[in-house]
Amino acid sequence: MKMVLLGTGTSHGVPVIGCDCKVCRSLDARDNRLRCSAYLSEPAKVLVDVGPEFRIQALRYKVKGVDAVLLSHSHADHLHGIDDLRIFSHSKAYDPHNKGAGETKGEGLPVYSHRAVIEDIRHRFSYIFGEVRQGGGKPKVNTIATEGYDVDNPIRIGGVEILPVLLKHGYLDDSGWIFREKAGDGHKSIVYLTDLNSIPDASVDRIKAFAGRIEHLIIDGLRVLPHSTHFSFEQALEVAERLAPRNAYLTHITHNLFHYQVQEFVDAIISRYPCLDSAKRNGGYVGPAFDGMELVC
């Protein structure tokens, strides 16, 4: 599997509009964070969230086909680029040679999330779902509720098995996603968890039951201080420790610290987390994600 992180910033992005803080003025490219999104390019083309900068992200990181979209929740920073799915949702609209991108979209581009998110996007983007055709076109999407999928019946898209997992984001339900592929007698996986400020024990069990060996864990870690709807760095590392991945990446990061300072913060406390500490000693990555980071397994 191959994934690129299209964005790793909090809802404002970094730099924040109008902010003159040192981080927002940083010349380190890793301190420039677009809104959170990820793109699995192999073995299938799957987009996780479609925020307001999706067009920029798609051009910057060469997103050349989308077989399906997964939505974590309906906050604007994860959804409001939905109109730019147009190019991927019409039959042959993008590239006649790319079979994955257009030819099977009779019903539209599959967009998966839990039922409440689908109801919300059908309400908020009613022009997409109504009969009236807008000038310039609109995305053709096929919303699919994920409630029926479970460990024995995952979503299957072109060679990758995908399972949603319930996260709590303030009072909202949010979906994390496990991407799984066969490896030897078992499985290897990439686990993507944002946005959340708590995770039910049942969700941790569900991840452990499905994921097999977790090669890459991407998890919401907003800042040092606690927050009502996001994990702090320490809270994110606590959950990462329970999942024992080979590599762990914090995402949805604010402008409070430089990238290198987030890494220093993690390094200073990593001995509290034996599994993560050991993963790092074995050459794994435990620290802040950055835009354009490529994860392969």
Residue 85 has which token pair? 């799915």
In angstroms, the CA 255 to CA 253 distance is 7
Pairing of strands 155-157, 286-288: unpaired
**Nearest to Zn ion of 11, 146 (CB atom):** 11
Shortest distance (Å) from residue 246 CB to Zn ion: 25
* CB atoms closer than 10 angstroms to residue 40: 26
In 3D space, the residue among 149, 153, 186, 181 whose CA is nearest the CA of residue 164 turns out to be 149
Structure tokens belonging to residue 158: 């072109």
When asked if residue 77 is in the footprint of Zn ion (CB under 5 A), the reply is yes
Task: Tell me how far, at minimum, the Cβ of 198 lies from Zn ion, in Å.
Answer: 14
Shortest spacing between CB 158 and Zn ion, in angstroms:
27
Binding status of residue 76 toward Zn ion by CB under 5 A: no
Q: Interaction with Zn ion in 223-242: which residues (CB under 5 A)?
A: none
Assess 31 for contact with Zn ion (CB under 5 A): no
CB of 159 to Zn ion, least distance (A): 29
Using the rule CB under 5 A, is 220 a contact of Zn ion? no
Q: In terms of CB distance, is 16 or 56 closer to Zn ion?
A: 16
Name the 3-class secondary structure at 31: helix
Window contacting Zn ion (CB under 5 A); options: 87-95, 158-166, 190-198, 256-264: 190-198
Q: Amino acid identity of 55? A: R
With helix as H, strand as E and coil as C, how does 137-204 read? CCCCEEEEECCCCECCECEEECCEEEEEEEEEECCEEEEEEEEEEEECCEEEEEEEECCCCECCHHHH
Task: Say whether residue 255 binds Zn ion (CB under 5 A).
Answer: yes
Q: 189: number of CA atoms within 13 Å, CB side?
A: 25
CB of 172 to Zn ion, least distance (A): 7
Is residue 195 near Zn ion by the rule CB under 5 A?
Answer: yes
Per CB under 5 A, does 145 bind Zn ion? no
Position 80 contacts Zn ion (CB under 5 A): no
Stretch that binds Zn ion, among 40-48, 75-83, 88-96, 122-130 (CB under 5 A): 75-83
Binding site for Zn ion (CB under 5 A): 11, 16, 19, 21, 24, 75, 77, 195, 255
